Amino acid sequence: MGLRAQGALLLTASAFLTVLTCLTFLTFLTGASAIGSAGQTIGQRNPPLVIDSITGRDLFDFYCASCHGRDGRGHGPVAAALKVPPADLTLIARKSAGTFPAARIEAFVTNGGEPSPAHGTREMPVWGPIFRGLDPSDTLAKVRISNVVKHVASMQVP
C-alpha cells in the first residue's frame, strides 16, 4: 500500500472515530436530559409488536386477552367496543362434539377463516401475516401460532 493510500485510510478511520464519539456524546446528552426531567412522560416507547416469549400463555395474554379475556371467555377490556362480541374460546371443543378442532382453529388464527355476512365486518385480527411480517423466521411464526392454539385448547371446559 502506498503512503498516500495509508494516509487516506488513517483519515477515514479518524473520521469514523469522530462520528462515533459524537454519537456517544449525543446518547449521553439525551440520556441526561431524560433523567433531568424525570416524572415527565418523555422517552415513552410504543409497546413492542412482537414479544420475545413464544409460550402460549404469554402470547395469548399479549395478543388475544384484550378481546377474549385472560380466561378466554370473551370479556376482555376491548370486547364492549366491538360490534361482534369475541367468541367464548373455552366452548370451542364443546361446540365441536367434544373434540378441539386444532387444525381449524389454527387456520382461523392464521388466515381469519370465512368472513360471515351475518356478522358484518370481521373484527378478529388475522395474526399469521402479522407474526410472519415482523418475524424474520417463518418457523418461529408457526411455533407462536401453534403454541397459542395449544393454550386455547388447554382452556376448554368439558
Judged by the rule CB under 6 A, the positions of this chain that interact with ligand HEC are 63-64, 66-68, 78, 82, 84, 86-87, 89, 92, 105, 108-109, 116, 119, 122-125, 127, 148, 152
Helix or strand run (H / E) with residue 136: none
Q: Quick one: 124 or 141, whose CB is closer to ligand HEC?
A: 124
Residue 90: name the closest of 109, 75, 80, 110 by CA.
75
Nearer to ligand HEC by Cβ, of 64 and 141: the residue is 64
CB of 76 to ligand HEC, least distance (A): 7
**Shortest distance, position 20 Cβ to ligand HEC, whole Å:** 42
State which residue, 15 or 78, has the beta carbon closest to ligand HEC. 78
Q: Dihedral, CA atoms, 91, 97, 98, 103, nearest 10 degrees? A: -80
CB 68 within 8 A of CB 87: yes
How far apart CA 68 and CA 77 sit, in angstroms, is: 9
Cβ of residue 115: shortest distance to ligand HEC, in angstroms? Answer: 7
DSSP-assigned letter for residue 53: -
CB of 75 to ligand HEC, least distance (A): 12
